[in-house]
Amino acid sequence: MKTNLRTFIKHSAKDFHNQSVNPPVVRASTIIFKNLQDIEKAENKYSKDPRSGNFNYGRQGTSTTFALQKILQEMEQCYKVYLTPTGFGAVFLAILSLVEPGDEILVTDSVYSPTRLLTQDYLKKFKVKSIFYDPKNFNDIKNKISNKTKLIFVENPGSNTFEFQDLKKIISLAKKRKIYTAIDNTWGTPYLIQPIKLGFDMSIVSATKYYSGHSDVMGGTLAVNKKVFKLVESTNRVTGQRLSPDDAYLILRGIRTLDVRMDKHHSNALKIAKFLAKQKKVVKVFYPLKKNSQSYKLWKKYYTGASGLMGLRIKSKNKPSVKNFVNSLKLFGYGYSWGGFESLALYQNQRQLGARSYTNLNKDEHIIRLHIGLEDPSDIINDLKQALKKIK
């Protein structure tokens, strides 16, 4: 029976063999067989269908990781999902599976800063050129495509400044020019948007964030369509990336409540965004809030909801006072990552933003990133009220 995604994630991956609601954690380096013939059968089944869950060595996974892959493949509406030890590992696997010496890739300028380091600096040694485009200007993509362009790498919305792009336009252009497409969909997850179904070749999610939901596990997922499957499959086999069964179990357990948590993150964040938009010291709230804005229209066009991550642009000649605002928050933790149950705050310096070309900060403007957690929203607002008084 076909069910809604909310129902599906509650009822999938049960283990009736062990009579367990959740599959057990199966740890293995050696996958044991009764005889040599059984090894050959497993290898033959894998050769015929690499998605079959037939393993012959622990690096390929166990029944625990396969259970997670199966549930994610349905959520993503994709051909196969690959599991990596970190979210950035999924970014690495996606890009390295496609590029060759002499290729060019187009990357959104407001990309996650480690992705920028990978594409801008690391890929140079492999003679791969990265060109960064303005996420607010679709024509900039068209103008920067060449006959060497292999991949368009999108992050939607952009990291820290949260620009939303017209995804179907990018997909349509890429298909006409026979260019691969990849998107970092960590902000939305397939609960809010399914990029493969939309037409992307690859979709990346940092499972460290909302999938886990409890800030105690790291992992990444790469969903692919059939078109790029063989390229990613061969790269995955030689790079040795593997998510541990323990982490896979925790991520799968987190997914059971993904819908409930995401809805609450959205509800809380919307209330906080409306409050912050009225504050004189806040120049702009980076969140789909104003219905007449381009960002809101593009968010509404593709997403069924929003997550809890947002940015603030604050104007102040007194930088220490802006940092004091962040340090004065009582209910916000200070640390990297996000997507857990708790609220987090960071002052985004130039290193965290990356060497961007299209993020224009006026003099005395500062960017703060907030992750709005699952606390009572009135408590979060009261906390922000007292801390905003520190800005001079």
- State the Cα–Cα distance between residues 216 and 34, nearest whole angstrom: 37
Q: Sketch out the chain's domains with CATH numbers.
A: 65-255 (3.40.640.10), 258-388 (3.90.1150.10)
- What does the pLDDT read at residue 360? 83
The continuous run of DSSP H or E covering 2 comes out as none
Name residue 100's amino acid: E
pLDDT at 3 over 80: no
- What does the pLDDT read at residue 1? 55
1-15, 62-76, 194-208, 295-309: range with lowest mean pLDDT: 1-15
- Which tens digit of pLDDT belongs to each residue from 88-136? 999 999 999 999 999 999 999 999 999 999 999 999 999 999 999 999 9
- Dihedral, 6, 165, 296, 193 alpha carbons, nearest 10: 0
Name residue 349's amino acid: N
Residue labelled with tokens 């990978």: 118
DSSP 158: P
Q: In what order do the strands lie in the sheet with 282-286?
A: 282-286, 309-315, 365-371, 343-347, 332-333
By annotation, the residues acting in catalysis are 59, 112, 184, 209
Per-position b or e across 360-391, b if 16+ CB within 10 A of its CB: eeeeeebbbbbbbbbbebeebeebbeebbebb
How many CB atoms are closer than 10 A to CB 274?
13
- State the Cα–Cα distance between residues 57 and 134, nearest whole angstrom: 44
- What does the pLDDT read at residue 351? 67
- What does the pLDDT read at residue 52? 87
Do the bridges between strand 365-371 and strand 343-347 make them parallel or antiparallel, or are there none, so unpaired? antiparallel
* Section 309-332 average pLDDT: 96
Of 16, 26, 75, nearest in space to 53 by CA: 26
* Section 245-253 average pLDDT: 96
- State the Cα–Cα distance between residues 371 and 310, nearest whole angstrom: 6
Of the CA atoms within 13 Å of residue 196, those in its CB half-sphere come to 25
- What does the pLDDT read at residue 16? 64
Q: Who wins on pLDDT, 78 or 49? A: 78
266-270, 321-325, 361-365: range with lowest mean pLDDT: 361-365
Which residues on adjacent β-strands are paired with residue 107?
Answer: 132, 153
pLDDT band at 11 (very low <50, low <70, confident <90, very high): confident
* Section 351-370 average pLDDT: 86
Q: What is the DSSP string of 74-140?
A: HHHTSSEEEEESSHHHHHHHHHHTT--TT-EEEEETT--HHHHHHHHTGGGGGT-EEEEE-TT-HHH
Of 204, 102, 94, nearest in space to 148 by CA: 102
Q: What is the mean pLDDT of the chain?
A: 94
- Which tens digit of pLDDT belongs to each residue from 185-211? 999 999 999 999 999 999 999 999 999
- Which tens digit of pLDDT belongs to each residue from 345-354? 999 976 677 7
